[in-house]
A = this chain, B = another copy of it.
Amino acid sequence: MFVQGLKCLFCETVYPVRVGYTCPRCGIVGILDVQYDYARIGRILTRRRLAARSDQSHWRYRELLPIGSNAALPALSVGGTPLTSTPALARHVGLAKLFLKDDGRNATGSLKDRASSVGVVKAREKRRPIIACASTGNAASSCAGMAASMGLKSVIFVPERAPEPKVTQLLIFGATVLRVRGSYEDAFQLCQRSCGKWGWYNRNSGINPYLVEGKKTAGLEIGEQLAWEPTDWVAVSVGDGCTVAGVWKGFRELKALGLIPRTPRILGVQAEGAAPVTAAFLSGEPMRPIEPATLADSIAVGVPRNWKRAVLAVRESGGAMINVSDGEILEAMRYTGRLSGIFAEPAAATAVAGLQRAVAEGCVGRRASAVALITGNGLKDVQSARAAAGQPYDIAPDGAALEEILRERKLIE
């Protein structure tokens, strides 16, 4: 292990790794950040050494993860998701170059597998047979899937509005699923109390310092897949704030290790109806909780636990934060699918929509290059996709109406 300690992001005290989930002095606002010995890691993780590693999963960066070298890993492969160049989508959005990092290709269909995989490894290490989590969906299904793969039991607290495909995934993975009649916040609080009471391993990424470490591998992979020449921008949708903070940490580490010459700017994108982090970023004031209202359920967070870390990350990157409407999100789902063949869930399409708006507003230049992080698979929320996609044409088996439809679609003259 190359971990040196855990540093409170609030009071900046550094603790030994045995300290617990959050800062003993600051309580739940005292989110802990894992500190590494980068000098030692830098001597091992060179470009050449990485190129020679055959492991294509995110464990190829194990020196930068808070796990022992002999730790048992889940059998499900995590990370190593494709980075796809999408020239037609770049033109549509108004960029010189655009790549999609498709984290919907992870085992359970979202980026959260990166975090959950680290979570189950830590749970096993601490000999906890049960792992628990409160989530709007992706973190939960990922936690349940990784637990199943690792032979752990999972207890999942979901808010009432969690979409059915995500709840179904949980049940298929054998989780005990508790649907809390209330908001995400209610589910979160009940999960916290239960973890305390029964000693379950707590997989809530607003609390647990190790999960964001898993998320940062998305940034590490983007750096390596771009042959160590990052794009000007990397767009990430923002809910709780953990993902954008994690991805940024990945880039900062690549820079610290001398693997990339410069870091990309981060574009943090929120849905208009759930944008407390953007508000805090723009005002410089502390985050004010709101009542979330957006169809992008994965980022419909009213009380983002990691807002401060997200704001700091975007600021440190020289980046920006922007909001988009639900209409823009649905439209982005449609044109992203049509122009790239990648089916993004609403929260994922939010990153693409944000890039389009940022270009239109002049915040991102027309000659810029960018990566949009596709955080989840569109199949996870087909209801929203259906609203975006429209309807098929119903025809009789004799094909009588066919010519008219084909003419309307400009497929025949």
15 examples of A-B residue contacts, CB within 8 angstroms: A76-B340, A76-B341, A76-B342, A107-B342, A108-B341, A145-B341, A148-B340, A150-B341, A158-B392, A165-B165, A168-B389, A172-B389, A173-B341, A176-B393, A178-B395
Copies in the complex: 2
- From 7 to 64 in chain A, residues with beta carbon under 8 angstroms from any chain B beta carbon are 56
Instruction: Tell me which residues across on chain B come within 8 A of A380, comparing CB atoms.
Output: 379
Instruction: Tell me which residues across on chain B come within 8 A of A145, comparing CB atoms.
Output: 337, 341-343
Tell whether A153 is near chain B: CB-to-CB under 8 Å. yes
Contact call B172/A334, Cβ cutoff below 8 A = yes
Tell whether A312 is near chain B: CB-to-CB under 8 Å. no
Which residue, A165, A189, A396, has most C-beta atoms of chain B within 10 A?
Answer: A165
Contact with B along A167-199 (1 / 0, CB 8 A): 111111110111111100011011001100010
- From 71 to 117 in chain A, residues with beta carbon under 8 angstroms from any chain B beta carbon are 74-77, 82, 84-86, 88, 102, 105, 107-109
- From 101 to 153 in chain A, residues with beta carbon under 8 angstroms from any chain B beta carbon are 102, 105, 107-109, 130, 144-151, 153
With contact pairs A165-B379, A194-B402 given, residues A393 and B178 touching in the complex (Cβ less than 8 Å): yes
Contact call A177/B392, Cβ cutoff below 8 A = yes
Instruction: Tell me which residues across on chain B come within 8 A of A107, comparing CB atoms.
Output: 82, 102, 105, 341-342
Instruction: Tell me which residues across on chain B come within 8 A of A343, comparing CB atoms.
Output: 108, 145, 169, 172-173
A60 CB, nearest partner CB in chain B, Å = 13
- From 387 to 401 in chain A, residues with beta carbon under 8 angstroms from any chain B beta carbon are 388-397, 399
A316 CB, nearest partner CB in chain B, Å = 32
Instruction: Tell me which residues across on chain B come within 8 A of A173, comparing CB atoms.
Output: 337-338, 341, 343
A293 CB, nearest partner CB in chain B, Å = 20
How far does the alpha carbon of A382 sit from the alpha carbon of B168 in the complex, in Å? 7
Instruction: Tell me which residues across on chain B come within 8 A of A360, comparing CB atoms.
Output: none
Instruction: Tell me which residues across on chain B come within 8 A of A85, comparing CB atoms.
Output: 75
Instruction: Tell me which residues across on chain B come within 8 A of A86, comparing CB atoms.
Output: 75
Contact call B193/A399, Cβ cutoff below 8 A = yes
Contact call A337/B77, Cβ cutoff below 8 A = no
Segment at the B interface, from A302-310, A350-358, A403-411: A403-411
Q: Which 9 A-B pairs have the closest CB atoms?
A: A174-B338, A149-B341, A171-B389, A172-B337, A177-B392, A379-B379, A148-B341, A186-B397, A145-B341
Interface residues of A (CB under 8 A from B): 56, 74-77, 82, 84-86, 88, 102, 105, 107-109, 130, 144-151, 153, 155, 158, 164-165, 167-174, 176-182, 186-187, 189-190, 193-194, 198, 333-334, 337-343, 377-380, 382, 385-386, 388-397, 399, 402, 405-406, 409, 411-412
Instruction: Tell me which residues across on chain B come within 8 A of A388, comparing CB atoms.
Output: 172
A107 CB, nearest partner CB in chain B, Å = 6
Instruction: Tell me which residues across on chain B come within 8 A of A334, comparing CB atoms.
Output: 172, 174
Contact call B108/A105, Cβ cutoff below 8 A = no
Smallest Cβ-Cβ distance to A84: which chain B residue: B75
Smallest Cβ-Cβ distance to A177: which chain B residue: B392
Additional pairs, 18, CB under 8 Å, beyond known A105-B107, A107-B342, A149-B341: A75-B85, A77-B84, A88-B151, A102-B107, A147-B341, A148-B339, A148-B340, A155-B411, A164-B386, A168-B385, A171-B389, A171-B391, A172-B337, A172-B388, A180-B396, A181-B394, A181-B396, A379-B379
Instruction: Tell me which residues across on chain B come within 8 A of A397, comparing CB atoms.
Output: 180-182, 186-187, 189-190
